[in-house]
């Protein structure tokens, strides 16, 4: 059943109202349904709260294609990355829900709210022996809950094998974030903290770096147990199927990264109480640099225009961003106002 109707783009209203509107349009007032839409990358994404509803409306260009399924016979696996590249299949599933299936899907409820969670990231740009883990503390009361220690590891150097000092995870606190994610383990060697290499740094320095980044900690480790590494398929086959079926949370990285960029910024914001009033987040000062804005625009433009795979594209952008941050702040030399702008955006 297809329906076509118009919405005011500038005032989309609340999800509740929209949901009511859908039920009204389809004349299914008492049927629970799942609402989804296809985003610009062709992924089928759910609409179930105000935030993703607004996001969906903002992507309408000019049409927003919305899919509605009955909740009781919904196919949850339909949601996710690259779902629309398998369009035929998905559409067949979505449009003919009574289509016979070989095995029944395990029903996992949809998240009620998008929230960044701890995850393995940058799988596609790191060597398979390394793992980059984002421990996302925002919104949880769990302690980070791990300890690090000095140790030594063996490296291959031009002079043969060499024992070099390194930093290792020594203990996980039961019930802590690190343990509950299962992404870090005792004796994993810490290689980087938020994009900065730890080699040559003391245990105290690495401790301070981790605590300074504790609200959004990204640790690159070499897992002590190398048997659980993500085995990557070749690029051509990897683009379809694999990511959704993978058990790892990295299966929906683009959603996360999209949201994180906004979230990360606000997360860093300090709080101000003016005249003993209500606490507010401190806003960013208006940028003085025009050229920088045009630069960011160019970048965004490119990422949408060129033909890279969307998921990896965003990841690459993200990591490029963090690397450039490192360079910018390490570099003592440049002093022009233009350059200072880059720090403001970070």
Q: How far is the CB of 133 from other proteins (least distance, A)?
A: 13
Q: How far is the CB of 290 from other proteins (least distance, A)?
A: 13
Q: How far is the CB of 292 from other proteins (least distance, A)?
A: 9
Q: How far is the CB of 249 from other proteins (least distance, A)?
A: 21
Which residue, 134, 163, 168, 133, is CA-closest to 148? 168
CA–CA gap between residue 83 and residue 37 (Å, rounded) = 11
Q: Which is nearer to other proteins, 65 or 155 (CB)?
A: 155
Q: How far is CA 327 from CA 115, 143, 197, 206, in A?
A: 30, 31, 13, 19
CA–CA gap between residue 67 and residue 46 (Å, rounded) = 9
Q: Which is nearer to other proteins, 207 or 242 (CB)?
A: 207
Q: Which is nearer to other proteins, 115 or 284 (CB)?
A: 284
For helices 337-345 and 290-305, the axis angle rounded to 10 degrees is: 60
Q: How far is the CB of 165 from other proteins (least distance, A)?
A: 7
Q: Which is nearer to other proteins, 90 or 217 (CB)?
A: 217
CA–CA gap between residue 314 and residue 258 (Å, rounded) = 8
Q: Which is nearer to other proteins, 86 or 171 (CB)?
A: 171
Which residue, 259, 132, 264, 276, is CA-closest to 191? 132
Q: In this structure, what token pair is assigned to residue 346? A: 């970070």
Q: In this structure, what token pair is assigned to residue 136? A: 């996302």
Q: Is 128 exposed, middle or buried (0-12, 13-18, 19+ CB in 10 A)?
A: exposed
Q: In this structure, what token pair is assigned to residue 193? A: 């903290």
Q: Which is nearer to other proteins, 75 or 328 (CB)?
A: 328
Q: Which residues sit at the interface with other proteins, rule CB under 8 A?
A: 137, 143-152, 163, 165, 170-171, 194, 196, 198, 201-215, 217, 267-276, 279, 282-285, 295, 299, 320, 324, 326-336, 338-340, 342-344
Q: How far is the CB of 174 from other proteins (least distance, A)?
A: 14
């Amino acid at each position: 059943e297809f329906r076509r109707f118009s919405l005011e783009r500038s005032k989309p209203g609340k999800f509740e109202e929209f949901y009511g509107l859908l039920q009204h349009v389809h004349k299914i007032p008492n049927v629970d349904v799942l609402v989804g839409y296809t985003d610009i990358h062709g992924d089928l994404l759910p609409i179930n709260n105000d935030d993703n509803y607004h996001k969906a409306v903002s992507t309408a260009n000019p049409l927003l294609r919305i899919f509605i399924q009955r909740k009781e016979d919904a196919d949850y696996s339909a949601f996710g990355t690259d779902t629309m590249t398998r369009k035929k299949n998905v559409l067949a599933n979505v449009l003919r829900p009574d289509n016979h299936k070989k095995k029944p899907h395990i029903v996992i409820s949809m998240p009620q709210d998008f929230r960044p969670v701890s995850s393995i990231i940058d799988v596609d740009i790191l060597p398979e022996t390394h793992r980059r883990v984002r421990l996302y503390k925002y919104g949880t009361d769990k302690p980070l809950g791990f300890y690090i220690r000095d140790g030594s590891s063996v490296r291959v150097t031009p002079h043969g094998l060499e024992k070099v000092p390194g930093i290792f995870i020594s203990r996980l606190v039961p019930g802590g974030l690190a343990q509950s994610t299962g992404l870090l383990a005792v004796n994993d060697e810490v290689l980087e903290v938020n994009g900065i290499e730890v080699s040559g740094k003391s245990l105290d320095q690495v401790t301070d770096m981790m605590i300074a980044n504790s609200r959004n900690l990204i640790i690159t480790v070499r897992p002590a147990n190398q048997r659980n590494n993500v085995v990557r398929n070749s690029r051509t086959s990897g683009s379809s199927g694999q990511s959704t079926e993978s058990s790892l949370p990295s299966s929906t990285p683009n959603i996360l990264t999209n949201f994180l960029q906004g979230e990360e910024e606000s997360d860093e914001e300090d709080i101000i109480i003016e005249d003993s009033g209500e606490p507010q987040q401190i806003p960013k000062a208006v940028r003085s640099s025009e050229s920088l804005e045009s630069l960011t625009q160019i970048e965004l433009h490119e990422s949408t225009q060129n033909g890279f795979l969307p998921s990896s594209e965003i990841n690459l952008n993200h990591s490029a961003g963090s690397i450039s941050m490192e360079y910018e702040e390490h570099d003592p030399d440049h002093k022009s106002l233009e350059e200072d702008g880059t720090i403001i955006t970070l």
